[in-house]
A = this chain, B = another copy of it.
Amino acid sequence: MPPSSSTLLDAFDQKILKILQQSNRTTSDQIAEQVGLSPAAIQRRIKRMREQQIISADVSIVNARAIGRNMTLIVQVSLERERVDLIDLFKKETKKREEVQQCYYVTGSADFILVVTAADMEEYEQFTRDMFFDNTNVRSFQTHVVMDPVKVGLTVPVDD
């Protein structure tokens, strides 16, 4: 480890984070008991980590079925030309579409990998028409239908 990369997080912080990643409604009292600090100290640390964007968000996770999104699909997209402006355009479009839960720009055989939710196949097909077929810069795309979301990463997305 480089000498300058100071450890921003001591053992206490790491324990706190691990708890908050599972449930951010855990009270400082409960956390305090588990990590061995006073509730006030816990709160101070959490506040600091939120300000430093170590904790980048605090969110409720909603069951997709409850809001009529029964399907999850994973799509690999290859662009026709890898031009920066076209890549940026594609990124922008994915950000706008509510169906796109996640979008990654990647190296390898594909250019983008998307996690998409839809109420049903018809809705997904409409989405593919809008996003892929009507987009001359999309060379090809390949869909994987999710049968079982074995593990859903509540823990550590990347962000900056």
Contact = CB atoms under 8 A, between A and B. Distances in A.
Given A61-B55, A151-B100, A146 B117 contact: no
Given A59-B23, A150-B91, A150-B104, A158 B113 contact: no
A59 B61 contact: yes
Contacts of A24: 24-25, 58-60
A137 interface: no
Q: Is the interface of A mostly helix, strand, loop or mixed?
A: mixed
Interface stretch (A32-40, A67-75, A124-132): A67-75
A7 interface: yes
A144 B55 contact: no
Given A57-B23, A144-B107, A153-B115, A159 B63 contact: yes
A149 B158 contact: yes
A135 B143 CA distance: 26
17 contacts: A7-B66, A23-B58, A52-B66, A54-B62, A56-B61, A56-B63, A62-B156, A95-B151, A100-B151, A101-B151, A103-B150, A104-B144, A106-B144, A107-B144, A108-B144, A110-B144, A152-B159
